[in-house]
Chain A
Amino acid sequence: MKRLLCTIAAAALPLGAATAQDAYVIGVSGAMTGPVAANYAPVVEAMKAYLDHVNARGGVNGRQLRVLVLDDQAQPSRAATNAKQLLVQDKVVMLLNASLSSTYAPMIAESKRAGVPLYYAGAVCPKETYPPADPLQFCSTAFGANLDSQAALAFIKRNSKDSVRLGLAAMAIPIARAEIDYAEGLSKTLGMTPVEKQISPPPAPDYTPFATKLKDANPTWVWSWSPWVSQVRVFEAMRRLGWNGRYVTWAHLNAEEELARIRDGEFYVIGTNAFMEDNLPIHAEIRAVAARAKLDYPVSYLTEGFVAGLVVESVLRNTPWPPTPQKVLAAMNNVKVDMKGLRGGPLEWTKDNHFRTRQHYRVWRWDPQGGRIVRAQDWQAIEVKR
């Protein structure tokens, strides 16, 4: 019996290798489980479902796409092991990261060692992807440090007749604190008065003490840029304390669902991905693909993953067979992906800019009279420069 199993295993090995040789193989290390999985797992699963859908349509350049997903639980040591395995064993031509920023360093090191491009999909875009970009790092994730605050404060300014007393709220994680510090400085140059800045630890048992101090400063607007839990809990606590100002916050994956839950006309979310409510043809495709793949997440969580899927498909379509990391890199350095309405314009990477050349922002809120989500501002573009 043991000999039979060994024979079957030995026979299966070259078969597996042949399959890999006939396909474009890319590898993902993502936080598929663990405390932050809710932010990353839907992106990876949606991207994989979309690429399976591409395979069902015949693949890319007549070849199948093979996506290998390894779970790093947002732990740097696991991310390092995953990257090694994907690069050395599986010989992937593109490495993807969908995890916390603490996993970046080991993956960057492995990507550099192997000369394989590293693409952040759903993970925060590091500054190395902005122009002048690191040759090997690319990013398509919706949010962009500094640009988001520029867009949010511009929206606040456009919608304020009187002088703005600005409250700022963030979670005590480096990236969120840096962004909110940037927003504080920027608000002064725009003639606003930053009245209070609250940084809450992740997670807090009760956000009311933080909200109390923010509310006591009597801001007319609050801008919060953090993981969703921190953004929305501070807002809800402020409302319960009787604050009736306006609150702008980043549109994370669950923003559409949450706007419908919170139902507050003065709670705004700003983001760069279209909402399912827009009902574009691509949204019908997302619904169909999600149903076929039996994804557990609400379809409104899947846009970011589809964006990543469109990018991967586009890059590999421009990568001649047989693929090598160098050919993939060349394709990534010169790509313009049609977002089919999921964003305000195409996603364009150049040799110098691995983030995008233009970032488009929309703002949504809940309309209490109409009982639905409405746009508070349509696409506004910001040029991404050096």
Chain B
Amino acid sequence: MQLAVNILVLASIYALICCGYVLIYRVSRVLSLAHGELMMLGAYGLYATASLFSGHPLIALAAAGALALAVGVAVYFALMWRMTGESVLAAVLATIALGILLRGAMILMFGTQTQHPLRDLGWTNGSLEVGAARISAVGLALILSTALVYGGLALFLRATRWGIRMRAAGQHPLLAAQRGIGLHGIYALAWGLATFTGGLAGMLIACDAGLESTLVIIGLKAFPAALVGGLDSLVGALVGSLVVAAAEVVLIHYVDPLLSDVVPFVILLAMLVVRPWGLFGTREELDRV
């Protein structure tokens, strides 16, 4: 039972991070390698708003979420917008440069000390009993947030006008543009949502384990899960996260904890050999890249 809970929590972390990779890739065909840094920026956003709105944790959380969304939109208009029409490689390189810039800027602004946003919010990370297992309050929040984010996104993409436009832009940007869909608005929204979900993951991880610069590496650790599931599929991101998390937790418990670092990449390599477009990815899209 405890293993199942551990798998669910780890899968939720990966899924929440993967969501951003998938949203941006699905809509604009750009692989964002600055996602880990944007995730960390989201966490630092919470650290800042927790101090700013001291004693009002919900306002601080809402402000940090809004900030992450705004940062994503700003990144698109300040940088990625200029990459439209350029080669995919140029756009990917731009995200790498953005990541390096953000990493340096965050150290300059916030220093190198570990921060504890949960304490700044005035909350503690308690423990809850779930049958024979236990889960931390932040772990539970991670699972619920992931369910809400994926549920909300499914609803948004299928049942709202902007969501349908986003899917259209992702499927065939030229046709979508000819039908009068403003691609820049859609892409900016995708960057905003991706940074929001990544930032949310960063905030929750920072609440659980403290906030430090190694958060960027965790952002990259989720990348294999996105590729295993299929880079243009949200369902794939969920399944991929579950597969990778299950393999990690089982190996830690029954074989050797050191394998947990290796197994996501073993699964990824196996997937690239057997089904390079991932479990739920689109073959055609991969060929195009």
Q: Do A204 and B260 touch (CB < 8 A)?
A: yes
CB within 8 Å of B: which A198-252 residues: 198-210, 212-213, 228-229, 233, 236-237, 239-242
Q: Does A65 contact B (CB under 8 A)?
A: no
Q: Which of A37, A213, A233 contacts B112 (CB 8 A)?
A: A37
Please, how many angstroms separate the alpha-carbon atoms of A233 and B205 in the complex? 12
CB within 8 Å of A: which B1-23 residues: 2-3, 6, 9-10, 13-14
Chain A residues in 8 Å Cβ range of B111: 296
Q: Does A180 contact B (CB under 8 A)?
A: no
Q: Do B257 and A208 touch (CB < 8 A)?
A: no
Q: Does B151 contact A (CB under 8 A)?
A: no
Please, how many angstroms separate the alpha-carbon atoms of A203 and B261 in the complex? 10
Q: Which of A202, A208, A213, A229 contacts B136 (CB 8 A)?
A: A208
Instruction: Please provide the 10 A-B residue pairs with the shortest distance between their CB atoms, ordered closest to farther.
Output: A201-B261, A37-B112, A38-B112, A240-B127, A203-B214, A209-B252, A209-B249, A209-B6, A205-B218, A205-B13
Please, how many angstroms separate the alpha-carbon atoms of A206 and B113 in the complex? 20
Q: Do B136 and A240 touch (CB < 8 A)?
A: yes
Chain A residues in 8 Å Cβ range of B119: 261
Q: Which of B113, B125, B253, B261 contacts A297 (CB 8 A)?
A: B113
Q: Which of A37, A206, A229 contacts B10 (CB 8 A)?
A: A206
Q: Does A254 contact B (CB under 8 A)?
A: yes
Tell me the number of A-to-B contacts counted with CB atoms below 8 Å. 101
CB within 8 Å of A: which B171-197 residues: none
Which residue of B is nearest A206, CB measured?
Answer: B10
Chain A residues in 8 Å Cβ range of B260: 200-201, 204, 209
Q: Do B252 and A206 touch (CB < 8 A)?
A: no
Please, how many angstroms separate the alpha-carbon atoms of A1 and B136 in the complex? 66
Interface footprint category on A: 35 or more
Least CB distance, A143 to chain B, in whole angstroms? 18
Please, how many angstroms separate the alpha-carbon atoms of A254 and B116 in the complex? 13
What per-residue 1/0 map shows which CB atoms of A357-374 lie under 8 Å from chain B?
000000000000000000
What per-residue 1/0 map shows which CB atoms of B215-236 lie under 8 Å from chain A?
1111001100000000000000
CB within 8 Å of A: which B83-118 residues: 104, 107, 111-114, 116
Least CB distance, B2 to chain A, in whole angstroms? 5
Q: Which of A37, A207, A239, A296 contacts B209 (CB 8 A)?
A: A207
Q: Which of B113, B139, B205, B258 contacts A208 (CB 8 A)?
A: B139
Which residue of A is nearest B129, CB measured?
Answer: A242
Q: Does B134 contact A (CB under 8 A)?
A: yes
Residues of B in contact, count (CB < 8 Å): 42
Please, how many angstroms separate the alpha-carbon atoms of A86 and B221 in the complex? 37
Q: Do A212 and B253 touch (CB < 8 A)?
A: yes
Q: Which residues of A contact B (CB under 8 A)?
A: 33-35, 37-38, 41, 172, 198-210, 212-213, 228-229, 233, 236-237, 239-242, 254, 261, 296-297
Chain A residues in 8 Å Cβ range of B212: 35, 38, 229
What per-residue 1/0 map shows which CB atoms of B120-133 lie under 8 Å from chain A?
00000111000000
Please, how many angstroms separate the alpha-carbon atoms of A213 and B248 in the complex? 13
Please, how many angstroms separate the alpha-carbon atoms of A16 and B263 in the complex? 56
Q: Do B113 and A233 touch (CB < 8 A)?
A: no
Chain A residues in 8 Å Cβ range of B216: 35
Q: Does B145 contact A (CB under 8 A)?
A: no
CB within 8 Å of A: which B228-254 residues: 248-249, 252-253
Q: Do B107 and A37 touch (CB < 8 A)?
A: yes
Please, how many angstroms separate the alpha-carbon atoms of A209 and B5 in the complex? 10
Q: Do A229 and B210 touch (CB < 8 A)?
A: yes
Q: Do A205 and B112 touch (CB < 8 A)?
A: no
Please, how many angstroms separate the alpha-carbon atoms of A213 and B253 in the complex? 6
Q: Do A205 and B2 touch (CB < 8 A)?
A: no
Q: Do A261 and B213 touch (CB < 8 A)?
A: no
Please, how many angstroms separate the alpha-carbon atoms of A353 and B127 in the complex? 49
